[in-house]
Chains A and B, each alone.
Chain A
Amino acid sequence: MTRDEILARVFAELESVAPGCAPGNADPGVDLHDELDIDSMDFLNFVIALHTSLNVEIPESDYPKLATLDGAVAYLLQKVNG
């Protein structure tokens, strides 16, 4: 998958777990919790959605790597394309 495809998927999953959170307007370098006002339940649902749709393992210890949009895309790009 390309970077843009991953980014589109990340946006879609964020929109789905937190409707109206407008990830497109978020600063890609800032923590998603603060930037999009998502809580730990939203974030877990985000991880579940990525795990299912991209078929990647995301251990809890890797959560900090998904904290920002830039971080999440880089992490998933590496996971998906191995």
Chain B
Amino acid sequence: MYEFRMPSLGADMEAGTLAEWLKKPGDAVARGDIVAVVETEKGAIEIEIFAAGVLNQWLVQEGATVPVGMPLALIATDKEEAATSITAPAPAPEPAVAAVAAVQTGPPPVAQAPLTPIARSAQARVKASPAARAYAREHGIDLAAITPGKPGGAILRADAVRGAAAGPAPARKTKPGLDFDKMRHAIAAAMARSKREIPHYYLSTQINLRCATEWLAGTNRSRKPEKRLLMNVLLLKAVAQAVKAYPRFNGFYLKDGFMQAQGVHIGPAIAIRGGGLIAPAIHDCDQKSLDEIMIALRDLVARVRAGSLRSSEMSDPAITVTALGERGVDGVFGVIFPPQVAIVGFGAPHLAPVAHADGGLAVEPVMLASLAADHRVTDGHLGARFLSEIAALLQEPEKL
């Protein structure tokens, strides 16, 4: 039996509140299916499963706050299903088997009692499923004015629909799905840990963007707005390709030291209006075309702002890219998001005098790129080669 557990959605997460089950006992689940919604300091996250089979039993009820790693449900995996169906006709079950069966068909154990030490007050904010939030947003409903169907439970879509029918409520301008105080707390915890534990070193270089700018303008000229690319997409792809050549910047520093990530999952830092940021993963960035990265980025930005991210997007990024340039600053030197080991920063593209090797001088678009990396894993020498590789890749945008 596979145990579906409360995942870690970031180094700073200790516990999460199970807001909503999206699969019930008896439902078939496939790898990558969204099984539950968990409320965290970074909003409501859709939790994916990485096993296939049939959901056998819930171990935790909606509304319970449980620590990272605690089993939430039992899944009969496909292999076990097959085995069960073969052995099922066998007669005369032994008492031990019957006992197990009785346990498994009984009501889900109430997990609250042993958890009280860490069960925090979740009443400070409105608990609601992403579907309920989306409905409330569309219809201008104040979720705080709605009573959940189950006392103490999260507001589900049906509750929001019922609330809407009961009468209009004044629309609120607050961000659905996010609690800014909690997010600030999460950022503070992660960044304080980073500065406490990670010996950062910093490098920067000015990248000539003439080729990239011209290529982008030429590409976008013949495209409808919805097909156009942003410079950030080129930057993400360049980092992805550079990371493949320099894999020691792509991974996690854990208690046994550096562990290289399996794929190239880059976390672009996405600001949230009103404060805070999240850097969820664009998976397999190295294998995606620029158009595919653009689609993924657009989708990610929309879901960050709607507060509906998936668990793998929270846990998988192995390097962060922050492009604060569009906010008008020349450069940004990032703080590594633990347990990652590097963050690449891009400043504002701007025009500057550039001296060429032949002694000539020209005004060209340039950008300051920076690398903050973990000295426990790499040195400035390797960091310099990594950053130079990013600069070199941006000189040939047509190959990205």
Contacts and interface: CB of A to CB of B under 8 A. Distances in A.
B385 interface: no
B182 interface: no
B228 A39 contact: no
B273 A41 contact: no
A51 B271 contact: no
A34 B343 CA distance: 25
A19 B305 contact: yes
A51 B225 contact: yes
B175 to A, nearest CB: 7
Nearest to B301: A41
A70 to B, nearest CB: 21
Contacts of B221: 59-61
A48 B226 contact: yes
A44 B273 contact: no
A20 interface: yes
A45 B298 CA distance: 9
A34 B221 CA distance: 26
Interface string A20-32: 1110000000000
Interface residue range, chain B: 20 to 34
B273 A21 contact: yes
Nearest to B227: A48
Interface in A28-57: 33-34, 37, 39-41, 44-45, 47-48, 51
Contact of B232 (A19, A40, A59): A40
B368 to A, nearest CB: 17
Given A44-B225, A60-B220, A60-B221, A39 B326 contact: yes
A48 B305 CA distance: 18
Given A40-B232, A40-B326, A41-B301, A20 B225 contact: no
B217 interface: yes
A37 B273 contact: yes
Nearest to A51: B225
Interface in B257-305: 271, 273-274, 297-298, 301, 305
B173 interface: yes
B326 A47 contact: no
B290 to A, nearest CB: 14
Contact of A58 (B225, B230, B271, B305): B225
Contact of B228 (A19, A20, A44): A44
B231 interface: yes
A7 interface: no
Nearest to B172: A20
30 contacts: A18-B273, A19-B173, A19-B273, A19-B305, A20-B173, A20-B175, A33-B326, A37-B273, A39-B271, A39-B327, A40-B230, A40-B231, A40-B232, A40-B326, A41-B232, A41-B297, A41-B301, A44-B228, A44-B230, A47-B225, A48-B225, A48-B226, A51-B226, A58-B225, A59-B221, A60-B217, A60-B221, A60-B228, A61-B217, A61-B221
Given A19-B137, A58-B225, 11 more contacts: A19-B273, A20-B173, A20-B175, A34-B328, A37-B273, A39-B327, A40-B326, A41-B230, A41-B232, A44-B228, A61-B217
Interface of B: 137, 173, 175, 217, 220-221, 224-226, 228, 230-232, 271, 273-274, 297-298, 301, 305, 326-328
Q: Which 6 pairs between the two chains have the least Cβ-Cβ distance?
A: A48-B225, A47-B225, A51-B225, A60-B220, A20-B173, A48-B226
